[in-house]
């Protein structure tokens, strides 16, 4: 199927072909184009989501693994694609190496003005004794940043908004949900099913809702199953969203179906690796969502269970092992529509923002 066929096959959306083309024209975040841009910088099963606001402010949610590979990929998107020479906000959802590991390498290359995390601890955040935590976290604990901040539930990042309202708010962190940030509503039905308790720092992940006009994006880091239920029981404390970053790389210790039903996304992006994430239970949950129009993955699942646990190749950024193409989302200046591009192909599809 040609790109043109792919594009025209999306004619049923209210956003027409011309708009889809103009959104696809440039992968470079123009300084004054008014768009909101998001990139999933591939860290092969790590977290590394870069957001650039219309005012040119940058937010990186998680920083991939240490070792130079992931930080180089993130810096390439930040400096070459987005054309920025610093990072305004680095948000580290929790203290696991695939989320904080690249931070010190990034801070060594570009100024990082603000770091937002759950606070540093001398002890292993997973509670392991005799762990390598003091060694593995040393670069992160000592890296130069403008200001370090402790995330609290309900916190809003200080962002510059233009004509279109813009916010990024923390809906839960350290297993404490934010109350009254969005219009809380009482949950109905029976209490959500729980799984075995998770004593790792995944459960402490901060989760965030980015709002731009009517557009909503949810990034939950690696928040795990039982902690997720705090967002939906007994009060539902999250809004419906347009775009959902599949939590925890698509693992089934996360992605509670009741939370996903409450979030009710139109599009999902999974920051999986070629052998990490893409759990069958999660894919089943995603496929059952009533408003879902598209699922994306950073990688084709190359494990044996990839025969069933995958999505069509033209929704996947990296089909073979060894490539590291990002996924790009551009939101129109008024937030009314957004396009998702797989730059390697390139394939762009456009979706209409819902009125939540
Ligand atoms: Zn992770």
Q: What is the mean pLDDT of each run of 10 residues along the chain (356 residues)?
A: 35 37 46 89 97 98 98 98 98 98 98 97 88 93 98 98 96 97 92 96 98 98 98 97 98 98 98 98 98 98 98 97 96 98 94 91
Is residue 129 situated within a structural domain? no
Is residue 125 situated within a structural domain? no
C-alpha 18 – ligand 1 centre gap (Å)? 38
C-alpha 243 – ligand 1 centre gap (Å)? 19
Is residue 266 situated within a structural domain? yes
Is residue 142 situated within a structural domain? yes
* Per-residue CA distances from 243 to 38, 220, 309, 323, 334 (Å): 11, 12, 21, 24, 16
C-alpha 205 – ligand 1 centre gap (Å)? 10
Is residue 130 situated within a structural domain? no
CATH number where 11 lies? 3.60.15.10
- Tokens 């390439």 appear where? 76
C-alpha 101 – ligand 1 centre gap (Å)? 11
Is residue 238 situated within a structural domain? yes
Domains held by the chain: number: 1
CA 113 to chain CA centroid, nearest Å: 21
Is residue 218 situated within a structural domain? yes
Amino acid 121: pLDDT: 84
Amino acid 32: pLDDT: 64
Residues 6+ apart with CB under 8 A from 230: 172, 175, 176, 177, 237
Asked if 296 and 316 count as a contact pair (C-beta separation under 8 A), the reply is yes
Instruction: Indicate the pTM of the whole model.
Output: 0.92
C-alpha 248 – ligand 1 centre gap (Å)? 5
Asked if 247 and 223 count as a contact pair (C-beta separation under 8 A), the reply is yes
Q: CA-based diameter of the chain, in Å?
A: 59
Q: How far apart are CA 334 and CA 326, in angstroms?
A: 24
C-alpha 199 – ligand 1 centre gap (Å)? 15
Asked if 142 and 151 count as a contact pair (C-beta separation under 8 A), the reply is no
Amino acid 31: pLDDT: 55
Asked if 155 and 132 count as a contact pair (C-beta separation under 8 A), the reply is no
C-alpha 220 – ligand 1 centre gap (Å)? 10
b (16+ CB within 10 A) / e for 73-105 = bbbebbeebbebeebbbbbbbbbbbbbbbbbbb
Is residue 211 situated within a structural domain? yes
Which range marks the domain in which residue 309 is found? 3-25+32-120+137-352
């Amino acid at each position: 199927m040609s790109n043109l066929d792919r594009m025209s096959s999306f004619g049923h959306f209210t956003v027409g072909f011309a708009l889809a083309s103009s959104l696809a024209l440039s992968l470079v975040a123009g300084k004054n184009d008014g768009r909101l841009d998001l990139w999933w910088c591939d860290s092969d099963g790590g977290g590394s989501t870069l957001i650039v606001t219309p005012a040119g402010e940058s937010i990186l949610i998680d920083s991939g693994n240490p070792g130079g590979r992931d930080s180089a990929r993130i810096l390439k998107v930040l400096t070459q694609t987005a054309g920025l020479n610093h990072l305004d906000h680095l948000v580290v959802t929790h203290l696991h190496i695939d989320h904080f590991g690249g931070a010190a390498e990034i801070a060594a290359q570009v100024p990082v003005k603000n770091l937002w995390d759950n606070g540093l601890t001398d002890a292993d955040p997973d509670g392991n004794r005799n762990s390598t935590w003091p060694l593995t976290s040393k670069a992160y604990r000592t890296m130069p940043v403008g200001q370090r901040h402790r995330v609290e539930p309900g916190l809003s990042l200080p962002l510059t908004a233009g004509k279109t309202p813009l916010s990024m708010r923390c809906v839960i962190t350290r297993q404490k949900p934010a109350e009254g940030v969005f219009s809380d509503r009482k949950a109905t039905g029976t209490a959500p099913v729980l799984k075995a308790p998770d004593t790792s720092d995944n459960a402490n992940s901060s989760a965030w809702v980015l709002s731009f006009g009517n557009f909503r994006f949810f990034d939950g880091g690696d928040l795990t199953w039982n902690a997720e239920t705090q967002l939906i029981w007994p009060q539902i404390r999250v809004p419906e969203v347009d775009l959902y970053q599949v939590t925890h790389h698509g693992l089934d210790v996360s992605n509670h179906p009741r939370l996903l039903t409450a979030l009710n996304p139109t599009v999902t992006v999974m920051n999986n690796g070629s052998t990490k994430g893409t759990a069958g239970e999660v894919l089943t949950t995603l496929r059952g969502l009533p408003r879902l129009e598209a699922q994306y993955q950073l990688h084709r699942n190359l494990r044996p269970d990839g025969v069933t646990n995958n999505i069509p190749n033209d929704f996947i950024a990296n089909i073979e092992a060894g490539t590291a193409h990002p996924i790009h989302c551009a939101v129109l200046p008024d937030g009314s529509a957004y396009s998702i591009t797989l730059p390697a192909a390139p394939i762009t599809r456009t979706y209409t923002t819902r009125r939540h």
